[in-house]
Amino acid sequence: MLNKSSTLSHKASPFIKFVIIVPEKNSLWKINHAKRVSPELVYRFLERKITKSLAVDNDAKIVVEVKYTNHTTNETLKSSDASYLLYTTACFLEDYLSKNSLDRLYKKYNQS
């Protein structure tokens, strides 16, 4: 017979999910229902939200999902590592961020 208390203790840990929606041409970018004009502003918004979330709970698990106009999606693994989340998101958005922004972000968050 199974012990009920042991089965209840195996709940999935909660996590925070940020969803970035790449717009059709001449439309606003979206991240979790907030609209932004450019991918750089979306990225900076994400940077602030991840940093703030991890400042409140250092063990918080965060996922970043990017949805593209061709109905494909990229998603990070659940992580508490801000560098991993932000570097990977920069890679997902490399076709949309300016070269200067990418160079700065890759240098800042590169994990090698």
Which amino acid makes up residue 47? E
Residue entry with tokens 């590592």: 81
Exposed/middle/buried for residue 19 (C-beta within 10 Å: 0-12, 13-18, 19+): middle
Q: How many CB atoms lie within 10 A of CB 64?
A: 24
Handedness of CA 34, 86, 50, 71 (dihedral sign): positive
- State residue 23's pLDDT score: 93
Exposed/middle/buried for residue 95 (C-beta within 10 Å: 0-12, 13-18, 19+): exposed
Is the confidence at residue 106, as pLDDT, over 80?
yes
Contact between 34 and 43 under an 8 Å Cβ cutoff? The reply is: no
Render pLDDT for 10-43 as a digit per residue (tens, 0 to 9).
445 578 999 999 998 888 999 988 898 899 999 9
Mean pLDDT computed over 2-7:
40
- State residue 73's pLDDT score: 94
- State residue 13's pLDDT score: 59
Render pLDDT for 41-99 as a digit per residue (tens, 0 to 9).
999 999 999 999 999 998 899 999 999 999 999 999 999 999 999 999 999 999 999 99
Contact between 74 and 66 under an 8 Å Cβ cutoff? The reply is: yes
- State residue 6's pLDDT score: 38
Q: pTM for this one? A: 0.81
Distance between alpha carbon 90 and the CA centroid of its chain, in Å?
9
